[in-house]
């Protein structure tokens, strides 16, 4: 199979280029394995990866125009020649490795941790199965960045708009029956940018490898804001 990968080494190259490799495929082979085969031919080819099973979120990349995790993308699903590029909109450090600092800053900005004000009980804080079910589809985010780097609003305002991944986590804590900081969280999200730059284009939903739905979460936050406003 023919795979074209994005190459850029800032120590050597003035501009990026695409390089073609021919990879022998095996049944059930994932893109990550093909990229490892390419590395065996050329160890200077750089990309992040680790778990190989879609849980660590290291290997988000843009494949044939769509963001995905290489380790759970079967080669059989891809049309040739396969074009592999770094996640869009982020500064490239080297080859497929991008600088994700802005993405992490936005995550940290939504106070992604449980806030309790009442004294803690000796045992668990009780939560019904139904209350717990509201966290499904939210807490599973692996911070791969596929969504935010597919979001036009994040491309244009990565410093001001939180982006889908961070907003999904903002909702994860708003939705948690144990959290006691709803008002502060909503106040912090107010203003024209942090939340409201989302125009419901749904690119984020289309690419999330964990099948999470940031657009819906953003909608819930907006509803809750409206509710609180009246």
Partner 1 sequence: MGLQHRHFDALIIGAGGAGLNAALRLASANHRVAVVSKVFPTRSHTVAAQGGVNAALANVLPDNWHWHMFDTVKGSDYLGDQDAIETMCREAIPTVYELEHAGVPFSRLDNGKIYQRAFGGMSQNFGGEQAARTCAAADRTGHAILHTLYQQNIRARTHFFDEVFAVDLLRDDAGVVLGALVLDIATGEPLVIESKTTLLATGGYGQVFRTTTNAFINTGDGMAMALRAGVPVQDMEFYQFHPTGVAGKGMLITEGARGEGGYLINAQGERFMERYAPNALDLASRDVVARAIVTEIREGRGCGPHQDHVLLKLDHLGADVVHHRLPGIVDICRVFQGIDPAKQPIQVFPTAHYAMGGIPTDRAARVVAPVHKGPEEAVPGLYAAGECACVSVHGANRLGGNSLLDILVFGRAAGQDIERYLSENPHHRPLPQHTLDPILARLERWDRHGEGEPVHVVKADLRKLMEDHCGVFRDHDTMAKGVEKLRTLRERIEHARLQDHSQIFNTARIEALELDNLVDVGMATLACALAREESRGAHSRIDFPERDDVHWMQHSLFWREGDRVEAKPVRTKPLTVESFPPKARVY
Separation between Cα atoms, residue 225 and residue 187, nearest integer Å = 9
Enumerate the H helices of 127-213 as residue ranges: 129-133, 152-156, 164-174, 182-189, 203-207
Integer Cα distance of 184 and 66 in angstroms: 36
Please state the closest distance from residue 92 (CB atom) to ligand SF4, in A. 19
Residue 39 found at the interface with partner 1 (CB under 8 A): yes
CB 195 within 8 A of CB 221: yes
Among residues 24, 117, 128, 226, the one that binds partner 1 under rule CB under 8 A: 128
**Number of helices (H), then strands (E), in the chain:** 8, 7
Q: Is 182 in the site for partner 1 (CB under 8 A)?
A: no
User: Count of CB atoms within 10 A of residue 74's CB?
Assistant: 12
Beta-sheet pairing, 60-63 with 82-85: antiparallel
The nearest distance, CB 39 to partner 1, in angstroms, is: 7
Shortest Å, Cβ 173 to partner 1: 8
The CB-of-209 to ligand FES minimum distance in angstroms stands at: 8
Number of residues that bind partner 1 (CB under 8 A): 55
> Is 100 a residue that touches partner 1 (CB under 8 A)?
yes
- String of contacts with ligand FES for each residue 25-64, x by CB under 6 A: ------------------------xxxx-xxxxxx-----
Does residue number 145 form part of the binding site for ligand FES (CB under 6 A)? Answer: no
169-201 CB burial, b ≥16 within 10 A, e <16: bbbbbbbbebbebeeebbebbeeeebbebbeee
Nearer to ligand FES, 58 or 106 (CB): 58
Give the residue, chosen from 14, 20, 40, 117, that forms a contact with partner 1 under the rule CB under 8 A: 40
In the complex, minimum distance from the CB of residue 146 to ligand FES, in angstroms, rounded to a whole number: 10
DSSP one-letter code for 86: P
**Contact residues: partner 1, CB under 8 A:** 9-12, 28, 39-40, 43-44, 46-58, 72, 74, 93-94, 97, 100, 104, 108, 111-114, 116, 120, 122-129, 131-132, 135-136, 139-140, 142-143, 173, 176, 178
């Amino acid at each position: 199979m023919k795979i074209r990968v994005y190459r850029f080494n800032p120590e050597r190259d003035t501009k990026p280029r695409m390089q073609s490799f021919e990879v022998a495929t095996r049944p059930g082979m994932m893109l990550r394995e093909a990229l490892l085969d390419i590395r065996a031919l050329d160890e200077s080819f750089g990309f992040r990866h680790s778990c190989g099973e879609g849980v660590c979120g290291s290997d988000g990349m843009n494949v044939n125009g769509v963001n995905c995790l290489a380790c759970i993308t079967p080669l059989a699903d891809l049309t040739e020649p396969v074009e592999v590029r770094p996640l869009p909109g982020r500064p490239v450090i080297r080859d497929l490795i991008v600088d994700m600092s802005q993405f992490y800053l936005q995550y940290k900005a939504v106070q992604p941790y449980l806030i309790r004000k009442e004294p803690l009980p000796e045992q668990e804080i009780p939560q019904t199965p139904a209350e717990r079910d509201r966290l499904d589809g939210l807490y599973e985010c692996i911070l791969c960045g596929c969504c935010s780097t597919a979001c036009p609003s994040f491309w244009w305002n990565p410093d001001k708009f939180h982006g889908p991944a961070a907003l999904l986590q903002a909702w994860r804590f708003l939705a948690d029956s144990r959290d006691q900081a709803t008002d502060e969280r909503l106040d912090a999200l107010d203003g024209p940018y942090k939340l409201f730059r989302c125009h419901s284009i749904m690119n984020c939903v289309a690419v999330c490898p964990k099948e999470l739905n940031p657009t819906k979460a953003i909608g819930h936050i907006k509803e809750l804001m409206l509710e609180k406003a009246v």
